[in-house]
Amino acid sequence: MPRQDMFFVESGKTAQSTDRQTLLAYVSSDRYDLQPLLAGVLVAEDLTEALARRSELQQSESIVTKSGVVVGINWAHVPRGQGGTAGLLEREEELSRLREEVPAIESRVAESEQELDRLRVHLNALEAQQKSARDQAAVILQKLNEDRQAYADRQARFDQIEGRRQQLAEESEEIVLELSRTGSELDEARRHFAIAEDETGALERQREALLTEKEVLTRTLSEARVQAQAAQDRRHETELALQHSQASLESHRSSLARLQAQSSRMQQRHEQLSQQLSTGQDPGVAMGDRLQTLLTQRSEAEQALAEGRNQHSAIEQQIRQVQGALSECEQEVASARENLENKRLKDQELTVRLQTLDEQIAQDQYV
């Protein structure tokens, strides 16, 4: 260890004290923590103040003055001086400084005396004002007591009114809640009613459209029925014409058969006569006339046969045309029947839909 005295302080920041009577309030250090060292050290202006406050010290406390004197509860430490010369020079400098400050201090004293006189006058005025204020305060205090009593009465009345107001407010809140619920239910009912009106309008429009479509289909059905009846009438007329044509054909066929038989007989007779002539037999004049007559009849028969064949061909052509027209009429009748059946089914479907819509509209109006 070294022979000289050494003093060590641990590094740390000094906490600043707020007590202006302690030395820590005047010392701060960011490098060393001086609180453990200076704790309990108080400050005083001079030795007189330090000695006067010595009775207030605790066992571990001390007081230090500006001159460096340290006073404890039962001890004191005075630092060594720097010699008599240094003390005299300091006193001389202090006296010179004080002599220079005397005029300024006297001027400040005069100003202070003037200020003191002014303050005394002002104090007298303030005392008069204080007396007047006290009188006014007494009046005001009396008025205040009266007002307090009136306020207490009014406060009691106010408490009654406030209680009644709170009761009415609670009742009003209940009424508002009830009105709110009623309004919500009313809005919901209005919304349902609006939806029902919209649906009813849509159903009405749909019903009108279906009625219009039903009318169109009814007219179409009537027209189809008229067309079917006309086609049936044409078919009947065609069947009658066909029957008449078939009867005419049978008649012409019978005539043709008779003419063919007659022509065959004539042909045979002609061959017989030709054979007789070729053999040299003379049938006589009567036979010649008969032959001429037969030849004429044969020519007429052949002409009638040709006409009958032409008529037969024309009748067959007419029959084919009539059969074609009859087939077309049958197709038209079948198509008309099919359309009529489709129209009837659609009419039944529209009738059912209209009944359903009427029931829905009646139900919506009931709701």
Q: What is the pLDDT of residues 217-267, one digit of tens each?
A: 777 767 766 776 776 777 677 777 667 766 766 776 777 677 677 767 767
* In the chain, where the domains are located: 11-77
Mean pLDDT of 169-190: 79
**CA 186, 192, 194, 198: dihedral to nearest 10 degrees?**
180
pLDDT digits (tens, 9 = 90+) for 273-323: 667 666 655 555 555 666 677 677 767 767 777 777 777 777 777 777 777
Q: What pLDDT is stored for residue 13 in this prediction? A: 64
Q: What's the pLDDT score for residue 83? A: 44
Rg over alpha carbons for the chain, rounded to the nearest Å, is 77
d(C-alpha 207, C-alpha 364), whole Å: 14
Range scoring the smallest mean pLDDT among 65-79, 111-125, 214-228, 278-292: 278-292
Cβ contact 221:343 at 8 Å: yes
Task: Using alpha carbons, select from 237, 234, 238 the residue that is nearest to residue 226.
Answer: 234
